[in-house]
Amino acid sequence: MLKRTILWYMTFWGFAMNYMLRMNLNIAIVSMVRSVPKIENTTAPVSECYDTLDPPSKKFLNSSISKILKPVDNDNTFEWDENLQNEVLGAFYWLHTVLQIPGGILAQKYSAAFIFGVTNGIVALLTCIIPYTTQCHYKVLVTIRIIQGFIAGASWPAMHALTGQWVPPNERSQFVSSYWGCSFGTALTYIVCGYIINWFGWELVFYITGAIGLLWYACWTWLIYDSPAKHPSIKDKERMHIEKSLGTTYLKNQTSSIPWKSMCISVPLISNIVSQIGSTWGMYTLSIQAPTYFRFVLGFDLKQVGIWTGIPHLFSWLFSLVCGYGCDFLIKSNMLSTTNVRKLACIFCNIVQGLFILGLAYSGCSYTLAIINLVFAVAMNGAMSSGPLAGIVDLAPNYAGIMQGIGGVISMGATSVSPAIVGFFTYQRQTIGQWQKVFILSTSLSWITGLIYLVFGSSNLQKWNSKEKKKKSETATML
């Protein structure tokens, strides 16, 4: 098997595990918090929608599956209001941006494989102690989540640096689809953990996901190396193919100074980061808040919450694969330029995603419409792997990790306030009207940022990617 194929699989499972560790609390919290009174003979909470549902919908909520669910153990739950819940949910992102740029710099100059591996490994280890810390005090849980988010901040830029060293330009859309292991991990977490919580309690969710993370870390350390040149068992044919494909776009020795000024005034880079803000905001709002929305607004039980908030992420993963192969085909066949391919992907992950989030806002108490719009909104985000994320590497492979670090600081910094905004809108008002405001805001951000990328975005290799190229260009201009 090709070593870059192994890298794809390990990256896929790395991001899957990464998102298991950050999303497990989103599903567990609906069982950790003492809910409002229940519908008769079910574990589904009374919601604004219950009395307005048509008979088939009520039959759905009062199904035989609901009746056999175990009741919540109130001795092991907590009285957290909406603001406190969103404080717990949002804590992971408070310092998530701090290591984005330093992580990219360290990965670019030293070892991207080590940084991606060890950051995920530490987060997995901390996950295993969450049940104990939660029993101490909610502030201890918040502290653990802050530390996890802080450490995990280096993972995305580190992986971009590794992509720049391993992946030929015409394979990047397909390879970056491995990042959407995050969607697969999110789906697996929501679906499986809903059952685990009902059978064994919420604590086991953290023990299982933490153990999976530690197992992945051991495999990553054994199998993955920083570059083809450093891999002890790669075949010469594959190594030469990768190095020839990268050519002079990637420097073997990262000793040159970082072109900070050129990055900061680069219109293509700025528009790329802006598009990530809108797409990421919509995705994270849906990922973090969908369990709460389905549980306390639509009145779903825990199993239904897990299934219907998890399935959309499977579609996101599948759509990222389809987009990856399709976009690389368009580039290889010269049917579209790389820039236009990235913009095409942006239409899906920003514009179309926003359209379905708007549909969710106006789904009302129809759980069918809510599920359909959620599935398609999350699925469309899968195109981001072929759009802005791959576009970062196109601009300057030498500094892909650092640029993604900059993008992560800005996009995740903006996204980190999403839980607080949701808390502001929904505090003691878990109603359709208040959640509608949340979704309309997400739609607006997706559309505005997507349009900016469509107008100003580019995937042309920047001259500051290589000092040598820059000098040649300056010499040619003088002549």
Q: Which residues contact 299 (CB under 8 A, 6 or more apart)?
A: 39, 44, 45, 46, 47, 49, 50, 61
The mean pLDDT value of the chain amounts to 83
For residue range 271-290, what is the model confidence (pLDDT) as tens digits? 999 999 999 898 888 887 88
Residue 236 — very low, low, confident or very high, per pLDDT cuts 50/70/90? very high
Mapping DSSP to helix (H, G, I), strand (E, B) and coil, where does residue 262 land? helix
Cα–Cα distance measured from residue 89 to residue 77, given in angstroms and rounded to the nearest whole number = 16
Q: What is the pLDDT of residue 40?
A: 45
| pLDDT higher than threshold 80 for residue 99 | yes
* Best CA proximity match to 202, nearest among 21, 79, 31: 31
Neighbours of 35 (CB within 10 A): 17
Phi, psi of 45 (to 5 degrees): -75, 155
420-455: per-residue pLDDT in tens?
A: 888 888 877 778 888 899 999 999 999 999 999 999
Q: What percent of the chain has pLDDT over 90?
A: 40
In the chain, the number of structural domains is 1
**CATH number assigned to the domain comprising residue 347:** 1.20.1250.20
Q: Residue 445 and residue 326: Cα distance in Å, rounded?
A: 27
Residue 470 pLDDT more than 70? no
Q: What is the pLDDT of residues 149-174, one digit of tens each?
A: 999 989 988 998 899 889 888 888 88
Helices within 381-466 (DSSP H only): 388-395, 400-415, 418-426, 432-456
**What is residue 52's predicted lDDT score, i.e. its pLDDT?**
53
Domain extent, residue 240, equals 3-478
Q: Which residue in this structure is represented by tokens 């905004």?
A: 421
